Structure 1
Amino acid sequence: MEAEYLRHGVPLADYQLTWADHGRQHEAVQVHEWVQRHVVQAPRWSDERWEQMRQFLGPPTPAWELQRWRLRLYCGHVIEATRSRKSPRPDGGICDKARCPECGLDPAVIVAFEPLGPVADPPPEKRSRKPSRSTRAPPADRRSKAELVAENEALRAELDALRDQA
């Protein structure tokens, strides 16, 4: 199921910053600075630790699971970005900022956005080519219906004979 993508602040070129945008940008800068101060103090990761993290994160997201967006950043620049197709918004409810490639503002809060379309079409579904029941050869340990019917009749006859003896 594909998300119904939202729009905000369209047309992007005419978007006027709100007090909420200024507040979100100020908060994003404070958080970014706090993280930078603490990352500098953290011990460096070994190559083994980086490899563990790569394995934990798994392979990169395939192109057909990505959505293209046009974003207006706090600095006023309009950029294109790719995000997961699962979310109806480019921030995905998690990251509402980006680094501006034009002026370098980092972080730059996303203030307006519009979807552009998927990065790629999904690959065609692979259909399994299992043979039908009628064309499959029965496994060696399976007996035919005629064999089972014959065995059933023989067992019933044996049961009747035992009942007659009793």
Structure 2
Amino acid sequence: MGSSHSTPVAPVEFDHHLVSALADNAAIPVPSPARQSTIDAHIHARIQAELQRLREDEATVRDEMHAALEKENLDRERALAHDQDSAASSATLLADLDQVRAKVDRFHARRDLSQLPALREARDGLVVCYKNNTSTPLDCWQQVETFRASVSELEKQHIQSLQ
């Protein structure tokens, strides 16, 4: 009803910059999906190559640092080797190390239970008692005491052998 009597509509005008930007965007071609995947693969390959180069550079720097530290340590050792006090303390240290090695060897030689029949018998008796008295393990107190006494005796012998 009132549409024929309404005021005339003014023409719509757009800003020249907006029209220009839209025209520029329309002129840029969008790559096809196949072309886009090729571009993506190329970019991915370049990133991987750069990462590999950086890792190699890091490894080179690390190797150079190790070499420099090793050279520095060797220089220090040479300086200490020329020092007479250092030589004397090194000899003392080597003697102490030999003593510790001998004690460790003796300890390992004595760890074998086959050479300790009293301990083996006490242990086996305790195990048998526990297996026979699964519901009443407190009945094995005598075997526990025998085992403890055997272990205590071996500990005393071991400590005396280390002195």
Q: TM-score under structure 2 normalisation? A: 0.25
Q: TM-score under structure 1 normalisation? A: 0.25
Going by fraction, where is helix more abundant, 1 or 2?
2
Going by fraction, where is strand more abundant, 1 or 2?
1
